[in-house]
Amino acid sequence: MNIALLGFGVVGSHFYTLAKEHGGVKVTTVLSRRPRPELDCTVTADFDEIVRDGSIDLVVEVMGGVEPAFSYLSAAMRAGKHVVTANKQLMCAHYEELLSLAKSNNVSLRCTAAAGGGIPWLTSLARAAENDRITAVEGILNGTTNYMLSAMTNKGSDYTAILKEAQALGYAEADPTADVEGYDARRKLVLSANLAFGVSIREDDVPCVGISHITPPDIEKAKELGLTFKLIARAEQSGNKVAAFVCPTLFPVTAPEAHTDGTGNLVSLYAKRIGKQSFSGAGAGGFPTGSNVLADCLEIRRGGCGVYYTDRSKPCPVDNSAAEGRWFFRHNGEYLFFGDYTVAQAFEVYEKYRQDDPTALMARVAAPRKK
């Protein structure tokens, strides 16, 4: 099976190494703006060459961003080529179009590495969704913020200092917005919810609070209560309603989430028949992510595992009005608990609090209710 690789950054270069080592698939072409004489395959800056090349069976896209990735993958599928991508931004932005293109051109479209890095999360979720009713998906899906929260909790670091450290270590981008404000986790949640519930929800419909307002006194307060902050993305389905949101969440120190430290990810599904299943591992990194990309390619090579993103993708509004929770707020220096707000109400209250206190904090409480 011959592969064209679009993008030669961290994930791309690691995937290239892994594919070469494995030998079961062959990267014959790399799309790159600059020459790469170190590679012993065709290097081109012209995507049309790849589309016209009938010897290429599969296009791997790890360039990121919506365009030109969307145009490239659309053209590839129209030319009958399978597609594997790690690009969550693209998958969220053009979910229905991409699925429908895969279906109408009878090619496979897989993106396991787009959520959970190296963890076989989306494949396991697809397996469960095929024969059970998933009621919720929830987890730590962003390694950068988990690294930061772990350091704030375990070493008492403050937000600004640990962000700088994470940037120096390459865990956080120069512009950390997508990570720290929860947008990266939200995209992974959208893909997870779409696959779990057979819907297509929109990123912008999912309310999202990140970790940038969490202070050392907040961490101390949580500790006093036996709780630990984690940034959690959660979606649940009840009747025909799909609820979805991202926000800091307080777990009892005995919960598996509380023990997921550093850049690790931990994500769970809840289903009617199989109950709760959890998956943990490296949520980012060149080799883990590249490995999940390669696994998708190998499954396509074996054939038949098909479009695991099937045609089950009805557009669906996000409705947080029925999802329940317990909540923790900090507003003008005071800590407040509420046990009787829906998710929609909690985000409304938080918006109100932020009007006179822009540093106000909101968190869900995932601890079991005291008897």
Give dist(CA 35, CA 283) in Å, integer.
Answer: 31
Q: How many residues would you count in the chain?
A: 371
Element (H, E) at 230: strand 227-238
Pairing of strands 134-140, 275-282: unpaired
| DSSP code for 108 | -
Residues 107-126 that bind a second copy (CB under 8 A): 118-120, 123-124
Q: Per CB under 8 A, does 57 bind a second copy?
A: no
Using the contact rule CB under 8 A, the part of the chain among 55-63, 77-85, 89-97, 129-137 near a second copy is 129-137
Question: What does the block give as tokens for 99?
Answer: 């699925």
Of the two residues 18 and 219, which places its CB atom closer to a second copy in the complex?
A: 18
Shortest distance (Å) from residue 155 CB to a second copy: 16
Of the two residues 110 and 364, which places its CB atom closer to a second copy in the complex?
A: 110
Shortest distance (Å) from residue 202 CB to a second copy: 29
Using the contact rule CB under 8 A, the part of the chain among 4-12, 34-42, 276-284, 337-345 near a second copy is 276-284
**Which of 316, 289, 299, 307 shows the shortest CA–CA distance to 98?**
307
Shortest distance (Å) from residue 327 CB to a second copy: 25
Q: Which of 138, 236, 299, 319 binds a second copy (CB under 8 A)?
A: 299
188 tagged catalytic = yes
Of the two residues 305 and 344, which places its CB atom closer to a second copy in the complex?
A: 305
Of the two residues 303 and 358, which places its CB atom closer to a second copy in the complex?
A: 303
Interface size with a second copy, residues (CB under 8 A): 42
Shortest distance (Å) from residue 298 CB to a second copy: 6
Using the contact rule CB under 8 A, the part of the chain among 95-103, 154-162, 187-195, 255-263 near a second copy is 255-263
* Residues 97-121: b if buried by 16+ CB within 10 A, e if exposed: ebbebbbebebbbbbbbbbbbbbbb
- Report angle CA 88, 129, 134 to the nearest 5 degrees: 95
Give dist(CA 161, CA 147) in Å, integer.
Answer: 13
| DSSP code for 308 | S
CB 81 within 8 A of CB 109: no
Residues 13-42 that bind a second copy (CB under 8 A): 18, 22, 24
Shortest distance (Å) from residue 171 CB to a second copy: 15
Helices (H), the chain: 10-22, 47-52, 69-78, 88-93, 95-104, 121-131, 143-154, 159-168, 177-180, 183-197, 216-224, 286-302, 343-356
| DSSP code for 285 | -
Distance from the Cα of residue 181 to its chain's centroid: 14
Using the contact rule CB under 8 A, the part of the chain among 161-169, 219-227, 285-293, 332-340 near a second copy is 285-293
> Which one from 81, 88, 188, 230 is the annotated catalytic residue?
188
Q: Per CB under 8 A, does 137 bind a second copy?
A: no
User: Catalytic positions, please?
Assistant: 188
Which residues make up the interface to a second copy (CB under 8 A)?
A: 18, 22, 24, 118-120, 123-124, 127-128, 130-132, 254-256, 259, 273-282, 285, 287-288, 290-292, 294-295, 298-299, 302-306
